[in-house]
Structure 1
C-alpha cells in the first residue's frame, strides 16, 4: 500500500494489547499506514515465547518498548507515549484498566483528543467474564463437533473489527465541526467484543445457510466436500452454469434447482469424484472452468505431502 493510498498515514497508535487480537489489529493498521508503538511487560508478549514466527510477522514495523505498568516508572513511560498518541489500543478487562489508572474517563480527561479502542471478551457488563476464542465460538454454535476450529476465528475477526474502529477514530480526528475548522475534535471510546465478532461470523449459520438443509451447508450437491482417489475435493458449483458444468462432467442428467438437491445427484457426483485423482480433477477444473480445489487427505497432510 503506497503512502498516497494509506488511510491511516499520519495516525499514531499506542498498543498495550498482548497475544493475538490486539497485535493482529495493530498489524493491519500499520499496513494501512499508521505509526505503531507497543508497550509490553518486562517478560514480553507471551506469543513471542510460544510462537516467535507469528510474533515477528505481527510486529514487523512496530516499535516495541517494555515497561512494568504496575510501577510508577512504567506508568510514566506509558503516559509519555500517550501524550504523542492518537489512538490507544487495549485488551485488558475494564477492572484491570481502572487499577492501572487507564480507565476511559481518566484518559479522556487528561488526553481529550485521544481515542481508545478497547478489545474485550464480551460486551458491556459481560466484559469481566473469562473467555477465549474457543468459548466465544462455542457460544455461537460454531463448534459442531469435537475437533478444534481450523483457525482462531473470533480473535481474527475481532482484530478486523478493531482495525475498523481505528479507522473510525481516524475519521473523527479529521472531522471539522460545523465548518469551524477545528482540527482537534474529542476522542472516541470504541469497544470491540470478541463474542460479538464470533456472533457476526455465525450469522450465516443462524440464517440457515450453513445448516445441513442449507444450500451451502451440504444440501446442494455442487457445494460440498467429497473424497477422491488420493485425497479430497472442495467443490463450489453453486451457480446454475457451474452446476450444469459439474453435472455434465459427472454424467448427471439435468441440472435445474431441484436436481442438485436430489439424493441421486449427490450419489452420482460422489461416485464421479471417488473415481478421479486430484491431478485429474485439477485438469478438469481448468478445462471446464469449475470452482473446485483438491486437497490431500489427513494422513498425507501429516506426512507433509
Structure 2
C-alpha cells in the first residue's frame, strides 16, 4: 500500500459467516485497512465451493482461521480471538448465532468493549425462516416494482439485498465502534430493503398511494427511464426543467415545459421522447447529450462497463477484481489475495 496505513488500520474484526452479505461487509472494512479474521468451519465458507473468483470477490485481504465451534476447543480459541478483537460480525441463522455463543451477552465476559453485529434475514427474533437474497426481494416489494407494467414481476440481475445489507452492517459496526462502547447491533435484509424503498413507503403510509410497476421508469420524474434508440437503449433521467429544456432542444421536441405537466401527461411525453430518440443510436445520443450536461447513458453490458472504467479494476494476488468503492486521499489498499482455508490457524479438531 502507499501513503501509510488505511483509516481503519487499528480495527480488528472477526467474521463468522458465509456466501455474500457478511463477507462483503467485512471485505469493505479490510479494503480500508482493518485486520479481518475470517472464522471458518471445518469445511470452509460455502462460497469456496462456487469458484475461486467468486470467493476472492468477497474475501480478499482477510486472514482465515478454521474452527469447529461445536467443540470446547473451538470455543476456547474463539474466546481467545474475541479478547484480541474490536468487533465481531456474524452472518448466520439466529439459532446458530445463539448456539455458537456469538452474541454480545455471551461474549461480554471475554471482552466488554466488543461490538457484535448480527446480520440475518428477518431479525434475531424472527426465527430461522430461509432468507436468501431473492426471497427477501420478493417479500419486501422489490420484485413487485420491477419489470414491465403488463409483465410479470422481476428480480434485479445482481444480489441487491445481500450487498445492501452488507453495506448497512459495516456502517452499523463502525457506528458502535466510534461510540467507544461494546454492544449488540442487529441488521436484517428485510429491514434494509424496506428502508431502501423510502419514498415509496412514505407515500403509501402517509397518502395511501401504492407504488406501481412502471417498467423501470421513475415514479415522479418524467422522462426518467430506458428508451429504445436506432441501436441500443438509452437511460435518460430528466429531474428538472433545465435538463428538459436542454434535451428537448437537442431532440427537437416542443412543449411540456414544467415537471408538473410532464408528470400529468406522462404517456404523451414518453411517446414524443421515444419517437425522437429513434433518430440516433444510444451511443450517439450519449455523445450529444453529455456536453449539454443532460443525465443520459447508453446501456452497457458489464464487460463494456468494466472496459470503460479500467481504474476500478485491481489486482488481488493475481486475481483481477473490482476494487473498493471508497477512495481515500493518501491511501491505496494493498488488495491482498483471499486466504486459503485455515491459513492463519487451524483448530477444527477436538
- Structure 1 and Structure 2 fold alike (TM over 0.5): yes
Q: Deviations over 1:241-287 (max 9, x none)?
A: 11111111222223223442323322111101122112321221234
* 1:181 aligned partner: none
* 2:194 aligned partner: 199
Q: Retained in 2: the 8 A contact 1:117–1:166? A: yes
* 1:244 aligned partner: 245
Q: Deviations over 1:32-79 (max 9, x none)?
A: 332111111122111122142132132221111212222233223222
Q: Retained in 2: the 8 A contact 1:252–1:265? A: no
Q: Retained in 2: the 8 A contact 1:87–1:169? A: no
TM-score where L is the length of structure 2: 0.74
What is the CA–CA distance in structure 2 between the aligned matches of 1:127 and 1:197, rounded to whole Å?
18
What is the CA–CA distance in structure 2 between the aligned matches of 1:151 and 1:129, rounded to whole Å?
22
What is the CA–CA distance in structure 1 between the aligned matches of 2:168 and 2:75, rounded to whole Å?
28
* CA shift for structure 1 position 116: 0.6
* 1:177 aligned partner: none
What is the CA–CA distance in structure 2 between the aligned matches of 1:68 and 1:29, rounded to whole Å?
25
Return closer, same or farther for 1:160/1:220 CA change in 2, 3 Å cut-off: closer
RMSD, matched Cα: 2.8
What is the CA–CA distance in structure 2 between the aligned matches of 1:287 and 1:99, rounded to whole Å?
59
* 2:228 aligned partner: 227
What is the CA–CA distance in structure 2 between the aligned matches of 1:218 and 1:106, rounded to whole Å?
46
Q: Retained in 2: the 8 A contact 1:250–1:268? A: no
Return closer, same or farther for 1:273/1:118 CA change in 2, 3 Å cut-off: same
What is the CA–CA distance in structure 1 between the aligned matches of 2:220 and 2:277, rounded to whole Å?
17
* 1:180 aligned partner: none
Q: Retained in 2: the 8 A contact 1:224–1:235? A: yes
Q: Retained in 2: the 8 A contact 1:120–1:127? A: no
Q: Look up the SS of the partner of 2:64 in the other structure.
A: strand
* 1:161 aligned partner: 168
Q: Deviations over 1:195-222 (max 9, x none)?
A: 1011111223324596468x96256442
- The equivalent position to 1:286 in structure 2, one of 290, 298, 301, is 290
Q: Which runs of 5+ in 1 are unaligned?
A: 174-185
Q: Retained in 1: the 8 A contact 2:225–2:237? A: yes
Q: Retained in 1: the 8 A contact 2:91–2:118? A: yes
Q: Retained in 2: the 8 A contact 1:230–1:296? A: no
Q: Retained in 2: the 8 A contact 1:259–1:265? A: no
1:275 corresponds to 2:279? yes
What is the CA–CA distance in structure 1 between the aligned matches of 2:104 and 2:155, rounded to whole Å?
36
Q: Retained in 2: the 8 A contact 1:92–1:120? A: yes
The runs of 4+ residues in structure 1 deviating greater than 6 Å are none
What is the CA–CA distance in structure 2 between the aligned matches of 1:67 and 1:49, rounded to whole Å?
18
Q: Deviations over 1:152-189 (max 9, x none)?
A: 1221111111111221232133xxxxxxxxxxxx5111
* 1:256 aligned partner: 258
Q: Which runs of 5+ in 2 are unaligned?
A: 145-151, 204-209, 305-350
> RCO (CA 8 Å, sep 6+): is it higher in 1 or 2?
2
What is the CA–CA distance in structure 1 between the aligned matches of 2:65 and 2:47, rounded to whole Å?
15
* CA shift for structure 1 position 4: 6.6
Aligned residues: 287
Q: Look up the SS of the partner of 1:217 in the other structure.
A: coil
Output aligned runs, 1:85-234, within 5 Å.
Answer: 85-144=85-144, 145-173=152-180, 186-208=181-203, 211=212, 217=218, 220-234=221-235
What is the CA–CA distance in structure 1 between the aligned matches of 2:260 and 2:199, rounded to whole Å?
22
TM-score where L is the length of structure 1: 0.84
Q: Retained in 2: the 8 A contact 1:218–1:224? A: no
Q: Retained in 2: the 8 A contact 1:236–1:292? A: yes
Q: Look up the SS of the partner of 1:65 in the other structure.
A: strand
What is the CA–CA distance in structure 1 between the aligned matches of 2:211 and 2:251, rounded to whole Å?
25
